[in-house]
A = this chain, B = another copy of it.
Amino acid sequence: MRKNILLTPGPTPLPPQVLEAMARPIIHHRTPQFQAVIKEASDGLKYVYQTSNDVFMLASSGTGAMEAAVINLLSPGDTALTVQAGKFGERWTELCKAFGITAEVVDVEWGKAVDPQEIAKRLKANPKIKAVFTTLCETSTGVATDIAAIGKIVKETPAVLVVDAISGLGAIDLKSDEWSCDAVVSGSQKGLMLPPGLGFISVSLKAMKLVEASKSPRYYFDLRKAKKALDKTDTAFTPAITLIIPLIEVLKMIKEDGLTNIFARHKKMADATKAAMKGLGLELFAPTAPSDVVTAVKVPVGIDGEKLVKTMRDTYGVTIAGGQAELKGKIFRFAHMGFIEEFDIITGVSCLEKVLTQMGYKFSLGAGVKAAEEVFLK
């Protein structure tokens, strides 16, 4: 008799519409029935992506779609610029290295956002850079990147701009076309409110030329195959049917709400979470460029960060995320993304207050919840 609440930056909770759609009997994928599903999903994704480019669906997690971006846009020996402000930025660098691509790294202090002018400088210094790899929301630190500003810089060069929007798409603004994003990678288990197992990637005309020219070996993630299939409202390989069918339900929900409302809702939840942390006397890890999808908070001195997360989850059923890699035990991450709403935030903050109290941290009980309520009442 315990309710489990997920306040993690992926997977995020599943709406009942998704659970219901997954519980339907499966249909075959090479049928007119499923073609209609692909068509609807494809159109809906363009709305969420704010693009008129093709958005390809891959049966993989987000990292698979990131790999698709690297191997389809670049050839061994090419040079790329990777923005590395956390664990997921590092993944771009690792992917480039794995496929023989020289990664010029823009190393950004964890908890800070990249300065777009640094990218301009690096592009100017090395005209061989063919692609700039960025992260919309660096989940490991809670930082949001100014993609609009970077887009303006990159579009004036021959390089393409690639955005990892796995964390953020459908939750915070990303105007793929207006901001000149050439390839936007995403996944199903965050703002799109689905289980993990679907990767997405949009490809601009500028990027499609690189896809055709790439000499990187590829098969499963070959976007030429994906393009050929999508042109016939099909997928190159067996699709993740029971994720694509609920995707349609989610896309309907998103369209009904409208992106503007959804972004405003996420901003309000982020503001409430930040206010709550301040109310508890806690310090934000990334105060200068916080994202609206996940808030990273410093574990107060004297408190065991890993135990805090573990107790909230295992004793009270409220799952937040701890720190990753070098931030392990030093921060916790409180997500407010996807199918999470006002009272989930209240529950999460209340649980945090309970466990912090039990662990001996001194604060005025209820101060976090009150601060969040004040924001939600505005």
Contacts and interface: CB of A to CB of B under 8 A. Distances in A.
The DSSP consensus for interface residues of chain A is loop
A84 interface: no
B22 A4 contact: no
A94 B26 CA distance: 29
A238 B187 contact: yes
Contact of A14 (B25, B29, B62, B100): B25
Contact of A60 (B14, B29, B220): B220
Copies in the complex: 2
B20 A314 contact: no
Interface stretch (A143-151, A171-179, A239-247, A267-275): A239-247
Interface stretch (A189-197, A201-209, A300-308, A366-374): A189-197
B62 A238 contact: yes
A323 to B, nearest CB: 12
Contact of A61 (B59, B100, B216): B59
A11 B23 contact: no
Nearest to A243: B197
A283 interface: no
A133 to B, nearest CB: 14
A27 interface: yes
Contacts of A64: 59-60, 64, 220, 237
Nearest to A8: B28
Interface residues of A, number: 56
A319 B19 contact: no
Contacts of A24: 19
A6 interface: yes
A99 interface: yes
Contacts of A243: 195, 197, 242
B195 A241 contact: yes
A67 interface: yes
A187 B221 CA distance: 17
Given A217-B98, A240-B197, A13 B26 contact: yes
A125 to B, nearest CB: 27
A73 B319 CA distance: 39
A196 B23 contact: no
Interface string A63-103: 11001000000001000000000000000001100111000
B197 A59 contact: yes
Contacts of A62: 237-238
A31 interface: yes
A10 interface: yes
A23 B241 CA distance: 15
Contacts of A61: 59, 237-240
User: Which are the 6 A-B pairs with shortest beta-carbon distances?
Assistant: A197-B240, A195-B242, A23-B23, A98-B219, A61-B238, A22-B22
18 contacts: A8-B28, A11-B241, A14-B25, A30-B321, A59-B197, A60-B64, A61-B237, A64-B220, A76-B217, A94-B219, A98-B217, A98-B218, A187-B238, A195-B241, A195-B243, A197-B197, A197-B240, A217-B217
Interface of A: 4, 6, 8, 10-11, 13-14, 19-20, 22-32, 59-64, 67, 76, 94-95, 98-100, 187, 189, 195-197, 216-222, 237-243, 313-314, 319, 321
